[in-house]
Amino acid sequence: MTDFSRRRVLRGMLNGAAVSVALPMLNCFLNDNGSALADGRPIPQRFGTWSWGLGMSEAIFVPKKTGPNFDLPPEIAPLKPVQQHINLLTNFHVFKDAAPNLCHHTGWVILRSGIAPLTAQNRPGETIDVTIAKKIGNETRFKNLCANATGDVRDSFSYENGNSVNTPEWSPIRFYQRLFGEDFQNPNAAEFKPDPRVMARKSVLSGVMEESKALTKTLGAEDRARLDQYFTGLRDLERRFDLQLRKPDPLAACVVPGKPEDLPAGLDADLVSKRHRIMTELMLMAVACDQTRVFNMFYAAAFSGTTKPGYDKPHHTATHEEAVDEHQHCQPNVSWYTRRAMEEWAYFVQALASVKEGDGTLLDNVFVFALTDQSFAKTHAIEGIPMFTAGRAGGRVKTGLHIDGGGSPGTRAGYTAMKLMGVDAPSWGHQSNNTSKEIGEILV
Amino acid sequence: MVAVRGLTEIGVSNVPMLGRRWRFAGAAAGAVLLAGALAACSGGAGRGPQESDSPARARLMSASQYSQTIANIFGEDISAAVPAPLPPMPRTDGLLAAGAASIGLTSDQLGQLHQAATAIASKVVDEAHREFLVPCKPQSPKAADAECATQFISSTGRLLYRRPLPEARVTELVRIAGQTADDLKDFYAGLGTALEGMLISPEMLFVVDVPEPDPDNKGRYRLDAYSLASRLSFFLWNSAPDDELLRAAESGEIQTRKGRERIVDAMLKSSRLEHGVRAFFEDLFEFEKFNSLAKDAMAYPAVTGSTLADAREQTLRTIVDHLITRHEDYRDLYTSRKTFMSMNLAAIYEVPAVDGWVPYEFPEGSPRAGLLTQVSFLASHAHPARSSPTLRGKALRELVLCQKVPPPPPNVDFSLLEDPDASLKTARERLAVHASNPSCAGCHLITDPMGLALENFDGAGRFRDNENGAALDTSGDLDGTEFKDVDGLNVALRDHPMLPSCIVNRMYSFGVGGPVSMSRDRQILAYLKEQFIKDGYRVPELLREIALSAAFSQVRPPKPPKPDTTLASSTATAVQPADTNTR
């Protein structure tokens, strides 16, 4: 449909009062690839990440058995209810090559960007969620969403480039308002009322784009790149405006939740858990309502400051200061923190499995990659950094497996995700982290 | 001539319609000639070393600058109702403000900014606000009114863009506002839509330094008048320029030495100065930590979120009162017993409770004197359930003295630090192991001796005279000055030679919006430090000296980029630094 005819139709609509649009007119607002209104339309594929801090206690984390029905050592015992929905990836490495081993930074940066960072401030490349969002995020209101359970606006593992972190949602109330506030178009609403100001907003936006181009001319190379990034944001806004003019397809899985309670600041493990669960509910409903197809949930930071009631050392401090108990084969308090993280990972997977979608659940139509920053945090080790996947990506992924990576690059997990989501990349990662080999064992 | 009428009302009556914003160039050029004549007598419009300058930058507005700007233009209530969705800045050379010139704006963030823009715009034009925020009444509230829309868009746009809008842009926005007004039968809805566009414009969100040849200093560049107004305003007020400051830019007065002095002196007297001073010290002292700070409820049950919020406020009140209201020596902030007390804090300080905020002075003999002994410093540089001499010492070094403490090496052997035996009662005993371990000692000797002097205060900042029943030894030394207790540390810090240099460097960096270069900025920093000492370490004088310096207004234009290969600028041409008329 041309801009002219779309505009003419809309102007007609806008001149009316509250508009209830009949279905035939909606055909005007279908996107060009003609995603249909009919039932039986394909369920979209989604990609998610989940992250926890400070790795594992290998002796009580890594199962003895590989393949299906692997044993669950004490530190991952909380995963029992979701074992059939996940894959555990162990003995994969990240390689710093000539770069320094930057404490609590090198590991996660390589797993998410494929590149070893050179400094603690350095975030090279872009993270895989951003890469995948460029491929599958164009049909939804949000290309990509990030939320955390720490309540700290600085905690995010998603970035477009070194200077541009995707700011996470950190407050339940704010996240709720952003998702389900005024701009939310409920796909199951009886009436479709496009905001009559959308066309005007598009016109205003054209002027802003012109301003942006004019301003760019006066800048040096680096600032020009920043303005270009801003300009890309304007294009994305334009895309969102177009979406607002289309009636969303009904989605049975979409049930708008009630307004959540807001929570105080703090990193007490119980509070973090509560925040994680509220943010998870909101995030997954954003996915079920097709507000986003790429999502990042951040349970704890790399330098995790989670605290245990009555214990004076936060998680990170404990990893360095607590002695290894030879009988328990771990640092007991550190392991307590890791078990809390695994409980939350299990919660997250269960939450995905509890949202009915089509003949199955949301979990059947996602691929989630879970990662951390170290293998053994006490010594800042990055060899054998543990990872998980969850979900079946529309039946293309097998689950319930423990895979031994045999020392191969951990970037294979991210590469597998990219291939599953249709990113056309012959290989991914720099230097020793470069890979063109998916983790075939988990693919159907 | 609708546009002319609108502009007349905001005080620019004698400007011919020359097209775009450069209709003001004539008036400004006249003033420039005058400025040039003045400069010939006085050696330039700026004070201090004439060779110093800073790179022309494009800074993203910070969240607090955005909120303050919205508050100043549209009112506190609207600003408070809409959180500013700008990203947290990367701390660069000690300041978040110095990261504003490198941070990018992601698509997601711009989406959030648009959401904020729609919320702000709908409030500005609602029935409760339009009476005083829209400077005219339309002929009919149900239809377009180009004249009134022009007035609103020109006057509001000028404040948001911090310079007059190009005429073509005004015309376009008036057209869209009119079309929307007719479509929706609502004049104010049309205005709101135009306002949304201005609020997400790069001219609003990015504070761009526009260079122009400096007539006082051949071969060099200076900020154009509007950029200088913005730089002054964000520096001293943490907000965009007001109408008067923009008038001074329009007339060119701001580019003359006398004019700039008059303007800066007026700005220093304004109540908005407090916003600027607060913003600087919040940044300097890493007060963003308070946004997520919490204490272990079992260890410190009396310390709630409101206690910590009050602790932050207490320090800011102390700073403003000491430096601005009472115009005292900056160094005495580290020894002064004068502060403010609230009900929440009284419990932590163990002083009589009071309603609201009241001035309070700790008595002689109290261990509380100076900023280091305030709860804000003690609690934000500690663990959730215990104190940390290392974190406190590191903060003192890095935030107050601008020294760099190296990070711990990744391969450090932590086995010696494992849970020590229960016979070690105090942090001093537990930290002794660091001093005996060569890989730890280097850094811990830099931080711990001064951090241990604060061990009379627990992780929440409450006073204690023992730890686990053991007496506390709070003696130590700070770069050769030995002390016996926290009073001694405070005095050693007050008299530390790096104390004045640190604030001078950070404040200059804050003002010019980027990190300082110890090679390029050596001259201006030395000059400012000398003036600061000469002025008795008074911060208002330092702010004035920075704002009036040649270095503050002289810039190095950006290097032209290579032939354009970027996504957005298919029509853009290579940069022409001298041609400011294109902006």
Handedness of CA B244, B247, B249, B253 (dihedral sign): negative
Round the CA-based radius of gyration of chain B to a whole number and report it: 27
d(C-alpha B388, C-alpha B401), whole Å: 19
Q: Among residues A114, A150, A106, A153, which one has the least CA distance to residue A130? A: A114
Tokens 């020596």 belong to residue: B329
Distance of CA A257 to CAs A283, B27, B402, B562, B576, Å? 11, 59, 49, 51, 54
Query: What is the DSSP secondary structure assignment for residue B288, as one 8-state letter?
Result: G
Tokens 């389900």 belong to residue: A180
Confidence of residue B415 (pLDDT cuts 50, 70, 90): low
d(C-alpha A241, C-alpha A201), whole Å: 8
d(C-alpha A96, C-alpha A374), whole Å: 13
Confidence of residue B413 (pLDDT cuts 50, 70, 90): low
Minimal Cβ distance to B297: which of A223, A268, A314 = A268
- Predicted confidence (pLDDT) at residue B467 exceeds the cutoff of 70: yes
Sheet of A46-51, strand order? A67-68, A401-404, A86-90, A387-390, A366-371, A46-51, A294-298, A145-148
What SS3 state is found at A325? Answer: strand
Chain A closest-CA separation from residue B330 CA (Å): 31
Higher pLDDT, residue B359 or B44: B359
Confidence of residue B416 (pLDDT cuts 50, 70, 90): low
For the stretch B295-332, pLDDT in tens is: 988 889 999 999 999 999 999 999 999 999 999 999 99
- Predicted confidence (pLDDT) at residue B576 exceeds the cutoff of 50: no
Confidence of residue B19 (pLDDT cuts 50, 70, 90): very low
- What b/e readout covers B428-460, taking b as 16+ CB neighbours within 10 angstroms? bebbebbeebeebeebbebbbbbbbbbbbbbbb
| CB-CB contact of A146 with A168 (8 Å) | yes
Which residues contact residue B438 at a Cβ distance below 8 angstroms, ignoring those fewer than 6 apart?
A: none
Q: What is the pLDDT of residue B297?
A: 85
| Identity of residue B411 | N
Pairwise CB contact (< 8 Å): B108 & A203: no
Tokens 């990972």 belong to residue: A345
What SS3 state is found at B457? Answer: strand
- In three-state form (DSSP H/G/I as H, E/B as E, the rest C), the secondary structure along B500-560 is HHHHHHHHHHHHHCCCCCCCCCHHHHHHHHHHHHHCCCCHHHHHHHHHHEHHHHEEECCCC
Q: What is the pLDDT of residue B353?
A: 87
Q: What is the pLDDT of residue B418?
A: 65
Residues of chain A with pLDDT under 70: 1-40
For the stretch B263-278, pLDDT in tens is: 999 999 999 999 999 9
Phi, psi of A332 (to 5 degrees): -55, -45
B416, two tokens: 């010696």
CB-CB neighbors (< 8 A) of B291 in chain A: 152-153, 265
Confidence of residue B20 (pLDDT cuts 50, 70, 90): very low
Q: A60 CB near a chain B CB, below 8 Å?
A: no
What ipTM goes with this model? 0.87
What does the angle CA B438 – CA B439 – CA B440 come to, to the nearest 5 degrees? 90
Mutate to test the interface with B, among A101, A156, A219 (most CBs of B within 10 A): A219
For the stretch B92-132, pLDDT in tens is: 999 999 999 999 999 999 999 999 999 999 999 999 999 99
Q: At what angle do helices B146-161 and B63-74 cross, to 10 degrees?
A: 140
Q: A270 CB near a chain B CB, below 8 Å?
A: no
Pairwise CB contact (< 8 Å): B411 & A212: no
Which residues contact residue B55 at a Cβ distance below 8 angstroms, ignoring those fewer than 6 apart?
A: B514, B555, B556, B558
Q: Among residues A142, A70, A44, A48, which one has the least CA distance to residue A345? A: A48
Chain A closest-CA separation from residue B242 CA (Å): 23
Name the least confident of A116-125, A405-414, B56-65, B375-384. Answer: A116-125
Minimal Cβ distance to B383: which of A183, A309, A314 = A314
Report the pLDDT averaged over residues B433-449: 76
Minimal Cβ distance to B109: which of A167, A200, A204 = A167
DSSP A252-268: TT--PPPPPPP--S--B
Q: What is the pLDDT of residue A297?
A: 98
For the stretch A15-45, pLDDT in tens is: 333 333 333 333 333 333 333 223 567 899 9
Q: Which residue in chain A has the smallest CA separation from B292?
A: A265
d(C-alpha A292, C-alpha A300), whole Å: 22
Q: For residues B337, B339, B345 and B348, what is the CA-based torsion angle, rounded to 10 degrees?
A: -10
Report the pLDDT averaged over residues B36-49: 59
Mutate to test the interface with A, among B64, B106, B312 (most CBs of A within 10 A): B106
Q: Among residues A295, A341, A292, which one has the least CA distance to residue A316? A: A341
- Predicted confidence (pLDDT) at residue B214 exceeds the cutoff of 50: yes
Tokens 């949301």 belong to residue: A362
Q: What is the pLDDT of residue A294?
A: 98
Minimal Cβ distance to A232: which of B205, B567, B571 = B567
